[in-house]
Chain A
């Protein structure tokens, strides 16, 4: 089974889906000469031509706006927004147009746009290029959100997103790309359904829900805790919307404890929403308060010393675990 990194897995997913479905088109900056700055679209312009791999001016507004118009009339566009922070530039297209349109029009149309962005801290890019917007995006009704932590998941989730009849956003973590994280990716066709969590490590004492980069931090913490005879179960929801509550709740039935590890400011975070869901629906199984291991309520800083302090790490999780067991 070949080992692929994130960019290779993403590239393969797009290539396979574009081959399968001629209505998929790509709209984005630098997709022609560079295949986008990280190479997600490398080789696709040569293969599918200027009609389907469309280089755009630097205009997130035009990229997402055109993707919406194209999707509403029968294409299945990928809107490549590069950094998730740039979603702020096309905020209206995201929150007022794309995700409202089907509902406002009484359910009579489909708007199958897939937004792709890299996301997250750890690459020393400072505040405007480093934010996970998980909580913010979860509050945008009508959007499905993929947050893969491995190249294997990335490929399967992206293929599903490209087959969705709804707006989706696919957020891959810049630090996982930079670290060159690899997975075994089978040559055979596979997809991963949106809304199906994956238990990345089984355990019995504490349930830890983590996304993207945090899955890897949680797995490191798990190895450290194992030496202390504490076993944590690491659940990667893989999609925040839809959220696989069942997998989380069935884990809590076993452990009675929940920590959510989420790389974004705590206030208004995805962690807060997951905590509220569990408090509502699984309180009777809880043996300890729910904990959130999040970043501080500040923008993402630049200096390595500051940024490393900002990003929640395995030590923060180990500390939180010690508070609930």
Chain B
């Protein structure tokens, strides 16, 4: 079932430039998240955030298979999804700092960033809530015949909420263009998935809705890309939703202050050996898609970008207190 990068040929749809882009996006997500942890510990970010470290290959591979006007719906662990769909790190960082220049003018924070111009229909602080909302975005695409697809990201915890059933059932009977991506990072806060579910694989539940379900290696960006691309094309051609379960692990715990005391060190170490970024880098360099110098340059560019984003966030003004009263009604 799980095919490693080294065992299979590169997808023909991926040019050298696109492969470099995938790598750049993964590095951007990692650098952003590491900096968020740092700025939270420095007291610059007022609320803890749910970091995407370790899961970068999923958002990156999935969003690379989308058109610019396709939709994504994210969850509480959303920074990676937003960056992968083209979200700006400076506007995100400013939002996390609670500044007026942020994506939501300081009204949303980490769990509510959105950029509708990029098809990013928002992160969401309620586990599973995006699953039903995704069906609505797909309904718009279907009725307006735009050919757009909605990718809905959620975690293993969300797969045990009622929305998982109600949302996927709804989309499946109407053959809506949605691709459900279950990121199984093994834990819902401290509760292991193998305790919280009586079936081993989330994707096995797809049969309940008569839709395709696949479990894949979520730490292999190319496997994610290929699998999601197939499901996206299926959705775009009116054949309905798919469910893709990506096996992965969150390195930094549920949120920035979680020491993950409930996970053994061996398990964490084992997953860290399966880090999606060096894995992909090794592949790209060995196959000659990137030189060591190009890799170095990408890391430097991203490092500079995140530095600029933090500077922007830090120097931006806070909203005026009275702005609290704005934006309730249109």
- List A residues at the B interface (Cβ < 8 Å): 25, 51-52, 54, 56-57, 59, 61-62, 64-75, 77, 92-93, 96-97, 101-110, 112, 141-142, 144, 165-166
> Residues of B contacting A103 with CB < 8 Å?
107, 327-328
What 5 A-B pairs are tightest by C-beta distance, nearest first?
A69-B136, A65-B132, A107-B327, A106-B104, A70-B136
Contact of A65 among B140, B150, B163, B327 (CB under 8 A): B163
Question: Is residue B138 contacting chain A, with contact meaning CB distance below 8 A?
Answer: yes
Contact of A66 among B71, B107, B135, B327 (CB under 8 A): B135
Q: Are A105 and B129 in contact (CB under 8 A)?
A: no
> Residues of A contacting B112 with CB < 8 Å?
104-105
Q: Are A65 and B169 in contact (CB under 8 A)?
A: no
> Residues of A contacting B329 with CB < 8 Å?
102, 142, 144, 166
Q: Which of B25-33, B114-122, B200-208, B298-306 is near enough to bind chain A?
A: B114-122
Question: Is residue B189 contacting chain A, with contact meaning CB distance below 8 A?
Answer: no
Q: Are B173 and A65 in contact (CB under 8 A)?
A: no
Q: Are B121 and A73 in contact (CB under 8 A)?
A: yes
- CA–CA, A110 to B114, complex, Å? 13
Please, which residue of chain A has its CB at the minimum distance from the CB of B326? A107
- Chain B residues 125-142 with CB under 8 Å of chain A are 125-126, 129, 131-142
Q: List 13 A-B contacts (CB under 8 A).
A: A25-B139, A65-B129, A66-B136, A69-B140, A73-B121, A73-B137, A75-B136, A97-B129, A101-B122, A104-B112, A105-B114, A108-B114, A166-B329
> Residues of A contacting B327 with CB < 8 Å?
102-103, 106-107
Contact of A62 among B71, B103, B126, B132 (CB under 8 A): B132
Contact of B126 among A70, A77, A96 (CB under 8 A): A96
Given contacts A66-B135, A69-B150, A112-B330, 9 further A-B contacts (CB under 8 A): A25-B143, A57-B169, A59-B166, A66-B167, A70-B140, A73-B136, A73-B140, A75-B136, A97-B129
> Residues of B contacting A107 with CB < 8 Å?
105, 107, 326-327, 330
Question: Is residue B312 contacting chain A, with contact meaning CB distance below 8 A?
Answer: no
Q: Are B162 and A68 in contact (CB under 8 A)?
A: no
Q: Are B140 and A93 in contact (CB under 8 A)?
A: no
Minimal beta-carbon separation of A267 from chain B (angstroms): 26
Minimal beta-carbon separation of A264 from chain B (angstroms): 24
Q: Are B141 and A73 in contact (CB under 8 A)?
A: yes
Please, which residue of chain A has its CB at the minimum distance from the CB of B137? A69
Contact of B133 among A56, A65, A142, A144 (CB under 8 A): A65
Q: Are B328 and A66 in contact (CB under 8 A)?
A: no
Question: Is residue B86 contacting chain A, with contact meaning CB distance below 8 A?
Answer: no
Minimal beta-carbon separation of A52 from chain B (angstroms): 8
Contact of A106 among B103, B163, B174 (CB under 8 A): B103
- CA–CA, A142 to B326, complex, Å? 11
Minimal beta-carbon separation of A99 from chain B (angstroms): 9
- List B residues at the A interface (Cβ < 8 Å): 71, 73, 102-108, 112, 114, 116, 121-122, 124-126, 129, 131-144, 150, 162-163, 166-167, 169-170, 173-174, 326-330
> Residues of A contacting B102 with CB < 8 Å?
106
Contact of B136 among A51, A72, A105, A110 (CB under 8 A): A72
- CA–CA, A109 to B134, complex, Å? 16
Please, which residue of chain A has its CB at the minimum distance from the CB of B125? A96
> Residues of B contacting A54 with CB < 8 Å?
139, 174
> Residues of A contacting B137 with CB < 8 Å?
69-70, 72-73
Please, which residue of chain A has its CB at the minimum distance from the CB of B150? A69
Please, which residue of chain A has its CB at the minimum distance from the CB of B176? A66
Q: Are A73 and B135 in contact (CB under 8 A)?
A: no
- CA–CA, A12 to B112, complex, Å? 39
Q: Are A165 and B330 in contact (CB under 8 A)?
A: yes
> Residues of B contacting A67 with CB < 8 Å?
136
> Residues of B contacting A73 with CB < 8 Å?
71, 121, 136-137, 140-141
> Residues of B contacting A165 with CB < 8 Å?
330
- CA–CA, A92 to B141, complex, Å? 24
Given contacts A25-B143, A59-B166, A97-B129, contact A105 B108 (CB under 8 A): yes
Q: Are B132 and A166 in contact (CB under 8 A)?
A: no
Minimal beta-carbon separation of A11 from chain B (angstroms): 22
Please, which residue of chain B has its CB at the minimum distance from the CB of A66? B136
Minimal beta-carbon separation of B202 from chain A (angstroms): 19
- CA–CA, A73 to B72, complex, Å? 12
Q: Are A106 and B105 in contact (CB under 8 A)?
A: yes
Minimal beta-carbon separation of B312 from chain A (angstroms): 17
Q: Are B136 and A68 in contact (CB under 8 A)?
A: yes
Q: Are B133 and A66 in contact (CB under 8 A)?
A: yes
- CA–CA, A66 to B134, complex, Å? 7
Please, which residue of chain A has its CB at the minimum distance from the CB of B170? A62
- CA–CA, A54 to B174, complex, Å? 9
Contact of B143 among A68, A75, A97, A106 (CB under 8 A): A75
> Residues of A contacting B144 with CB < 8 Å?
74
Q: Are B139 and A69 in contact (CB under 8 A)?
A: yes
- CA–CA, A288 to B140, complex, Å? 54
Q: Are A106 and B133 in contact (CB under 8 A)?
A: no
Contact of B330 among A64, A69, A102, A141 (CB under 8 A): A102
Please, which residue of chain B has its CB at the minimum distance from the CB of A97? B129
Given contacts A51-B143, A72-B121, A105-B108, contact A61 B71 (CB under 8 A): no
